[in-house]
Amino acid sequence: MLAGMPDEIAFAPAVELARLVAGRQVSPVELVALFVERIERLDKDLNSVVTIDAERALAVARQQEAVAGAPDAPPLLGAPILIKDLTMTAGLRTTFGTATCAEFVPSFDDGHIARLRRAGFILLGKTNVPEWGTVPFTESRLLGPCRNPWDLGRTPGGSSGGAAAAMAAGLTPVAHGSDGAGSIRIPASNCGLFGIKPSRGRISKAPIYGDGMLAFGSAGPIARHVIDAATLLDVLRGTTPGDPYWAPKPPHAYAEDAGRDPRPLRIGLVDSVPWATFDEEALATVHSAVTLFERLGHTVEACALPLDERLRDDFEVAYTAGLAANPVDHATFEPYNAGVAEIGRAHSAPRLLAAIVSLQQQSSAIVRAAMRYDVICSPTLTRPTLKIGELAGLDTRPMLDALERYIGLTPLANITGQPSMSLPLHWSPSGLPVGVMVTGRPADETTLFQLAGQAERATGWAARRPPIS
């Protein structure tokens, strides 16, 4: 089956690969061998995969061959996947991009990783991340810079940078990421992919609840095909007794939504932000998306959300305090993170609590304003992707300011807890992908997947390939 068409197999939807395995048209061993070979051949230019678990992946694949096609076989049996290196994986090195954890091997899986294994996914390895996942580029001292397959002089973004670079280059059929301030949507935008941050509480964070009182972060999918992202979220979603947050169960599987057009939607357009400026490319991207959405039968109108600099300032307090609470010796951090932790330690407990209350109040006002629309559309980022090392050498405060200007509105959905996605709807004249962000109503991933699937069918974005693929 693989002979003569490896590239087509490598870029096929993960759900199609699982179907081929179930029909015994291709074996899990063949798929693992194909993607391991692609990683070994192509990733030397990208540095997207930092740990390869080929031997164990092949052992799992051989076990799966015996049950492929059985009525009770797991639904995604044989589909390979790469896991972001900020996530606990039993028996598989997990570095968090930091020197202290360079050889750390957990004894347990994060709960949602266990769900992946039970669904039949085969873990190929771990993808590159910035130290502690704190920045929107992937250039840690421990793991080295990860490069964008569309332009090796540029970053794929972060913190799920390795996941997106590997996904775009066809080194995995689907990728696992996480998003605390845009860390799925930013690299999806930079690498020409679809990425979605689910609603707060959609995916359990058990057994470690490590991102503070407001739970800004969530695991989620990065994919080429909307059906793969929807199917992966169907696997990942669910709660664990004791979870501090949970989202209501969706009316049906998200995989069904990916193939179903939405009703005509009222879309609110946000193309400015108080603390940053969208450049011409970002504005051109979102305005071309407006043209597409209107052609598909939706109504788009300018939308004013109650945003001001207080939101950025309060989020910065929570962000810096969160890194300050990291129990690892801060003296081992890279300079930027050490500086951020120092800023966080300077906040008093009353200041942190005041910021949290303020964020909750502002979130309520923002969500109420957004509820006038089915979804909110904006540029994912304020400009195309950064060059490798572009911000190197900046001190902590100037770096924070530069990052806040670059990421624009991506943290907003992390603050409010709404689901939010980046769609690969535009490429710049120089060939760089530039994403469009669409944020849904609370707990409404259904509408997002319907709109994303409709846009994918209208544009055929999945057929695009970067130079390194």
Cis peptide before 6 (omega within 30 of 0): no
Candidates 159, 160, 363, 378; catalytic one: 159
| Whether residue 126 lies in the annotated active site | no
Active-site residue 205, yes or no? no
In the block, tokens 């598909």 appear at: 296
Q: How far is CA 419 from the centre of its chain?
A: 12
For residues 89 and 109, give the distance between their C-alpha atoms in angstroms, rounded to a whole number. Answer: 4
Catalytic residue from among 48, 140, 178, 183: 183
Q: Is the CB of residue 228 less than 8 Å from the CB of residue 215?
A: no
- In this structure, the dihedral spanned by the alpha carbons of residues 326, 327, 332 and 334, taken in order and rounded to 10 degrees, is 0
Angle subtended by helix axes 280-295 and 445-459, to nearest 10: 90
Cα gap 89→297, rounded to integer Å: 44
Tokens of 280: 């011409």
Catalytic residue among 27, 48, 84, 140: 84
Spatial neighbors of 314 by CB under 8 A, at least 6 apart, are 355, 356, 358, 359, 362
Q: Under a CB-based contact definition with an 8 Å cutoff, are residues 242 and 197 in contact?
A: no
Buried b (16+ CB within 10 A) or exposed e, 426-441: bbbeeebbbbbbbbbb
Rounded to 5°, angle at Cα 455 from 437 and 185: 25
Give the whole-angstrom CA distance, residue 469 versus residue 465.
Answer: 7
Tokens of 120: 């039949």
Q: Look up residue 18 and give its two tokens.
A: 């699982």
Question: Is residue 27 flagged as an active site residue?
Answer: no
Active site residues: 84, 159, 183
